[in-house]
Amino acid sequence: MTKGLAKSGAISKEELERYRVYPSEERLRKGPVAIIECIQEIPCDPCVHSCPQKAISLKTLSALPELDREKCIGCGLCIPSCPGLAVFLVDMTYSKDEALVQLPYEFLPVPKVGEHVDAVDREGNPKAEGRVVRVRIDPKTNRTAVLAVAVAKDVALDVRGIRREIG
């Protein structure tokens, strides 16, 4: 059992369930969808303003963001907007065997397309091999890179980072 965000810095499975972070199986089958792993009530709202579909809302500035998954079209614009690096995107329809996980990345050098990486979970544990298939850096935002990483479908809801050898 993991300790949870307040104690370990990594959101736990229990918290993911309690805050209903994961989309339903049915929604995952429809295509890419944002996954907002934000469970701390802090005054923050860039994700709300980043979404062209108005799929993210807040009841008050310090409330947790709410995602209308039926409005979400999986564009990923909310990912680099989040200063807490708490927004991800999962596309279970990417291919027969692989899912695409999009995640924020703030280290240098930025990976290259085609690079093979260790795909790691929220606590940094390796889960599978990943392949970088797209790198997006929007200079109009805060220059946080968004990596699209192909991984086996069975780890797509656990993979939230990458680790690489830089030699």
Interacting residues with ligand SF4 (CB under 6 A): 34, 36, 38, 44-47, 50-51, 53, 55-56, 65, 67, 72-78, 81-82, 84, 86-87, 89
DSSP run (H or E) holding 6: helix 5-8
| Closer CB to ligand SF4, 53 or 93, in the complex | 53
The DSSP letter of residue 17 is H
User: Given CA atoms 53, 59, 63, 69 in this order, what sign does their dihedral have?
Assistant: negative
Contacts of 148 (CB under 8 A, 6+ apart): 100, 101, 102, 132, 133, 134, 135, 136
Q: How far is the CB of 111 from ligand SF4 (least distance, A)?
A: 21
| Closer CB to ligand SF4, 70 or 97, in the complex | 70
Q: How far is the CB of 21 from ligand SF4 (least distance, A)?
A: 11
Q: How far is the CB of 125 from ligand SF4 (least distance, A)?
A: 23
DSSP run (H or E) holding 19: none
| Closer CB to ligand SF4, 80 or 128, in the complex | 80
Q: How far is the CB of 116 from ligand SF4 (least distance, A)?
A: 26
| Closer CB to ligand SF4, 10 or 75, in the complex | 75
